[in-house]
Structure 1
């Protein structure tokens, strides 16, 4: 009898042990919300691996979707979706973005790596109220930017660069309060640059579009650190606007139609690279103090007057194709001979002289070009091919700009 009781106890213990084994996995792994599950299925059907990519190889819907490549879950919801292999040189994905993506209600991060994803941005993106990071770049997304994106009030990063987007930038996007990075460069966007009111905006990159019109003095917040509007058709003065952006460390306004002067205070900002070339800026260039910027490009504008000696501390200085007059300050010569200047392009101005010994040896690491000024340049100067072969301006032109 005692043996039978012990056998029963062992059997019960064994059953409990087996039940515990089955219970543990069920308690650890939560079941994905059915709506999210169906959304992932729709997304998978609308996208494919490009030849050489195997990103979707783990997307087997008989297993837990939270273990799929690029899928990150919290409890029973998808919170991040990174579509495609992010490694450099990976082939990427093709297809279209399914509107079911808007059903992932807890999604905070969405990215699609470079590939051949086409079609429009689905309007349902506006349903992702928790979205903080949206990056769909270097694909073939076309159509207009949905104005409904303004409903993403928690959005911090918006990167739609290197696509084929057209139409204007919805003005309401500039009112999203948490925006810190807006990158829409290399598209076909038209219209004007809308005002951005977010006081956390640090990066705005809209280069290589077809944007036009003027910028109002208060259109951009002083929080900006990186601003690139290059290769558009923007116009009008920017001196009052730039004077407010004292946190800039990178500024590129090149290849536009901006006019007017540039504020001297701009040269005191913590900028490492200043690109203002190929505009219609005019007037004198008057820094307030010794310039600590590594590269300054003011070429192909209408700047005039004498060159400030405060610019002699710039490592790469492009002042060519302007209307500068007078002699080159001696501080430039000193810095040049000491290899403190790598590039000093002064060609195509109305400069009248430079005090440099004809026998002085300019370091091989430095380039000086004085072609086509109102003087005969030293024989040692080296110029780019596009500077031309004519060394001196006609005297009739020099007489007009004398002094």
Structure 2
């Protein structure tokens, strides 16, 4: 009998406690979220602030359900995605630092922070996010080195740390993540060579505007690549064998480097829409295998030589200026110009000797032709950029020397 009284007493106390808790913590609030995730959200909130003009954190009221906060996405009792900041274009972002508490979200698959003024380095314990597939923190002020331990994130598919202040080498282990499809590290202060990327799912590699140096091994990049930008570094050496393997490319930008040697003719048959090779030390003839269907081709400021191939006349925007091309401009270029098929044809600063165009022909207003500083008198109605200079023709001594 006494035992039944004690049981009833305990049951009564439990009910009273439950009623009190329901009064203090209304039903449908943060009580359903994993405690570790809840505490991590609180810590992150303390480490970040809205920049003037942003009200991203206005919904982060911890007396309500955190799964209803802006940028917080949950599945069951876990946070699976954090998109920190207002994603509308032009909106002010966040300031502060990324707290190591970010590594406490055991189920987090996606982490992004919009452009703002996030300072400091990347927390080392990001490597605890074993389910992370998407990591994008661009256009902030993240500094320090890229943690080599990020390679432990074997599920990572997208890594975007562009437009920050990162320094040091690109950890070679990053290239060994098997599921990587997008690596975007442009506009930082990264040094060293281009690491080898072995992931056969890699489609986008963007390392532009860094301080990368050295040659690139022909086998360092996978044939799965569709977008490759290495622009504005100090990379050198030949790339013909490398490019010959990347037959899935639809965008290629190697401009503003120190690459040498020739470019493979097969490159022009790839599904590329934009080819940027300007301001390097490429040399030799340019001989496509077939009619070129690329929309924009920029080979300017190199050392290409030989005659201009008529197979290039189908390119809409073609920059061959500041090279060593010789001979006549093919008639197919004239036909395409007059029919407005070519919008930009820059051939200035070469050793070209003529173009067969009727002086009375009118080049469409939508087209630009520049031929000055060659071994000929250019047609009157040609439009050149200001940086082409004022000299219409190349000195005859230079022309004679080049022919010789």
TM over 0.5: yes
SS for the counterpart of 2:252 is: strand
Q: CA deviation at 1:34?
A: 1.0
- Look up the match of 2:391: 390
1:225 matched to 2:215? The reply is no
| 1:29–1:42 distance in 2 versus 1, CA, 3 Å | closer
Quick check: 1:262 aligned with 2:263? yes
| 1:121 lines up with 2:122 in the alignment | yes
In structure 1, distance between residues paired with 2:93 and 2:110? 18
CA distance in 2, matches of 1:305, 1:281: 13
TM-score (ref. length: structure 1): 0.93
Once the two structures are superposed, the pairs formed by residues 10-159 of structure 1 within 5 Å of their partners are 31-159=32-160
Moved more, 129-138 or 383-392: 383-392
SS in 2 for 1:401: helix
Instruction: Name the residue aligned to 2:5.
Output: none
Separation in structure 1 between the aligned mates of residue 106 and residue 117 of structure 2, nearest angstrom? 26
TM-score by length of 2: 0.92
2:253, 2:72 → 1: CA distance? 37
Report the Cα distance in structure 2 between the residues aligned to 1:194 and 1:386, rounded to whole angstroms: 37
1:389 Cα shift? Answer: 1.0
Q: Is the 8 A contact 1:306 1:326 kept in 2?
A: yes
1:400 maps to 2:401: yes
How far did 1:28 drift?
11
Offset, 1:382? 1.2
What residue number does 2:242 align with? 241
* Maintained 8 Å contact 1:30/1:75: no
Change in Cα spacing, 1:400 to 1:236, as seen in structure 2 (3 Å) is: same
Equivalent residue, structure 2, for 1:327: 328
Paired residue secondary structure (2:61): coil
The offset of 1:360, in angstroms, is 1.2
Aligned twin of 1:196: 197
How far does residue 402 in structure 1 lie from its aligned partner after superposition?
1.5
C-alpha distance in 2 between matches for 1:26 and 1:63: 10
**Structure-1 separation of matches of 2:258 and 2:239:** 11
Deviation at 1:64, TM superposition (A): 1.5
> 2: CA distance between counterparts of 1:62 and 1:294?
56
C-alpha contact 2:29 2:65 (8 A) present in aligned 1: no
Deviations 1:63-88 (A, max 9, x none): 22111111111111110011111111
What is the alpha-carbon distance in structure 2 between the residues aligned to residue 171 and residue 313 of structure 1? 41
Asked whether the 8 Å contact 2:219–2:242 carries over to 1, the reply is yes
Shift of 1:30: 6.7
Tell me how far apart the structure 2 counterparts of residues 67 and 345 of structure 1 sit (CA, whole Å): 56
1:29 is displaced (CA, Å) by 8.4
Distance in structure 2 (CA, Å) of the matches to 1:285 and 1:368: 20
- Extract structure 1 runs of 4+ deviating beyond 2 A: 25-30
Hey, what's the Cα distance between the residues in 1 that align with 2:28 and 2:357?
A: 82
Q: Once the 2 structures are TM-superposed, how far is the Cα of residue 176 of structure 1 from its aligned partner?
A: 0.3
Question: Contact conserved, 1:133 with 1:156, CA < 8 A, in 2?
Answer: yes
Taking the aligned partners of 2:389 and 2:289, their CA distance within structure 1 comes to 34
Structure 2 match to 1:10: none
**Structure 2 Cα separation of the partners of residues 74 and 118 of structure 1:** 30
Query: Is the 1:291–1:311 Cα contact (8 Å) retained in structure 2?
Result: yes
Secondary structure of the 1:204 match is strand
* 2-structure distance, mates of 1:361, 1:66: 65
1:152-231 to 2 correspondences below 5 Å = 152-231=153-232
Distance 1:143 1:334 in 2: 55
Please, which moves more after superposition, 392-401 or 291-300?
392-401
> CA shift at 1:349, angstroms?
0.2
- Give the equivalent residue in structure 2 for 1:359: 360
Equivalent residue number for residue 7 of structure 2: none
Structure 2: where are the runs of 5+ without partners?
Answer: 1-18
Cα distance change on mapping 1:61 and 1:26 into 2, 3 Å: closer
Give 1:27 deviation, angstroms: 9.1
Deviations 1:344-372 (A, max 9, x none): 00000000111111111111111111100
Contact 1:317/1:345 (8 A) holds in 2: yes
Cα distance between partner residues in 2 of 1:318 and 1:27: 63
Cα deviation, 1:166-201, whole Å, max 9, x if unaligned, reads 111111000000000100111111111101111111
SS at match of 1:398: helix
SS at match of 1:173: helix
Q: State how far apart, in whole Å, the 2-side matches of 1:321 and 1:377 are.
A: 16
Q: Does the Cα contact within 8 Å between 2:72 and 2:82 map onto a contact in 1?
A: yes
